[in-house]
């Protein structure tokens, strides 16, 4: 299969390579972490919270050949969007629970605990009777490119890639209202949602308070 997924208006989508990662980290710092609702309004530099663990996880996804990069061919190959995605197995639910429980009590740790609880409650593997799925972990588009359909192109390319690799399903845990809306527009089904206002700590305090319209985490799935 080709490693490229077409160029439109000078923006090429291709499979991510390991040598892209250092530039991707810079892009994520300036675009993803300050825009994703739970990170952006945490009051912490979330990218620094678990940098080594995140690096290892992201690199493992890139090594699978399941992550995508959008580059501007008219601007020296500048990154303008990406998807980090990888294979997920039913055994990963317990693995993620243990990893989240062992994290420090910073913003990224709290997010990991929350998402682990959500994925175990939903249990897509049991619900759909599958042993693996393609997990769309992070998607982000440069602010200058939003509203131009690039997020939709990235999602469509990831679905195509997932089918070529034999994944029965693709799933995404959308913490952003806009991300969930975009994926629903492509036929992904929302099978679960959890209001942030209902997620509280041991003292009864709401853990996450992003502004509207980011009021829920939503789990979306599509058959490939």
**Choice between 45 and 198, residue whose per-residue pLDDT is larger:** 198
Round to whole Å and give the CA distance between 40 and 114: 16
- Measured CA to CA in angstroms, residue 130 lies from 42, 64, 134, 190 at distances of 35, 19, 11, 18
Instruction: Supply the pLDDT for residue 220.
Output: 98
Tell me the per-residue pLDDT of 163-188, one tens digit each, with 9 for 90 and over: 999 999 999 999 999 999 999 999 99
Round to whole Å and give the CA distance between 70 and 203: 43
Tell me the per-residue pLDDT of 36-55, one tens digit each, with 9 for 90 and over: 988 888 777 777 776 788 88
**CATH number for domain 4-223, candidates 3.40.50.12160, 3.40.710.10, 3.40.630.30, 3.40.50.1820:** 3.40.630.30
Tell me the per-residue pLDDT of 141-152, one tens digit each, with 9 for 90 and over: 998 888 889 999
Round to whole Å and give the CA distance between 152 and 11: 13
User: What is the residue extent of each domain of the chain?
Assistant: 4-223
How high is the mean pLDDT of the chain?
92
Mean pLDDT within 212-224: 97
User: How long is the chain?
Assistant: 224
**What is 158-185 written as a DSSP string?**
HHHHHHHTT-SEEEEEE-SHHHHHHHHH
């Amino acid at each position: 299969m080709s490693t490229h997924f077409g160029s439109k208006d000078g923006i090429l989508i291709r499979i991510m390579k390991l040598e892209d990662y250092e530039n991707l980290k810079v892009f994520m710092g300036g675009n993803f972490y300050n825009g994703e609702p739970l990170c952006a309004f945490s009051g912490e530099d979330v990218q620094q919270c678990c940098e080594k663990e995140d690096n290892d996880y992201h690199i493992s996804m890139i090594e699978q050949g399941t992550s995508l990069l959008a580059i501007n061919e008219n601007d020296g190959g500048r990154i303008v969007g990406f998807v980090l995605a990888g294979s997920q197995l039913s055994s990963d639910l317990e693995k993620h629970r243990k990893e989240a429980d062992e994290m420090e009590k910073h913003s990224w740790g709290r997010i990991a605990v929350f998402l682990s609880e959500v994925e175990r409650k939903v249990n897509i593997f049991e619900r759909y009777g599958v042993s693996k799925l393609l997990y769309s972990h992070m998607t982000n588009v440069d602010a200058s490119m939003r509203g131009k359909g690039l997020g939709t192109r990235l999602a469509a390319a990831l679905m195509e890639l997932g089918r070529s690799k034999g994944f029965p399903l693709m799933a995404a845990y959308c913490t952003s209202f806009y991300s969930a809306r975009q994926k629903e527009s492509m036929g992904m089904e929302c099978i679960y949602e959890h209001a942030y206002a209902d997620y509280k700590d041991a003292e009864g305090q709401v853990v996450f308070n992003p502004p509207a319209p980011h009021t829920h985490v939503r789990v979306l799935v599509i058959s490939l």
